[in-house]
Amino acid sequence: MAAPKPVITKKSLADDLAEKYGLTKKDAAAAVNDIFDTLTDALKKGGEVSINGFGKFTVVKMKARNGLNPATGEKIRIKASKSPRFKASKTLKEKVK
């Protein structure tokens, strides 16, 4: 049986920060939440988030299109939307190999 793959959560990030930098878990959790809030706000405003050595987050605009309801086969119109995308940097790709 294969070992379970590690999963990083906001809580585990906060716990690691608290231990590494001597912060309270509450302060570390607040810092992690602030980072993600800042990233999200930048993307909401149409910007991009580029983290050197990690990658770039962008928002892609998806045009309205025709589709099919998979349950009924009925033709439907799918509304235009926005979707976040992530492109890993060359550095990250090399480290993961």
Domain boundaries, the chain: 10-96
pLDDT at residue 85 in the model = 97
pLDDT at residue 22 in the model = 97
- Asked if residues 55 and 92 have their Cβ atoms less than 8 Å apart, the reply is yes
pLDDT at residue 3 in the model = 78
What is the torsional sign of CA 57, 61, 67, 70? positive
**How confident is the prediction along the chain (97 residues), in pLDDT tens digits per residue?**
677 888 999 999 999 999 999 999 999 999 999 999 999 999 999 889 999 999 999 999 999 999 999 999 999 999 999 999 999 999 999 999 9
What class, spelled out in words, does domain 10-96 have in CATH? few secondary structures
This prediction has a pTM of 0.77
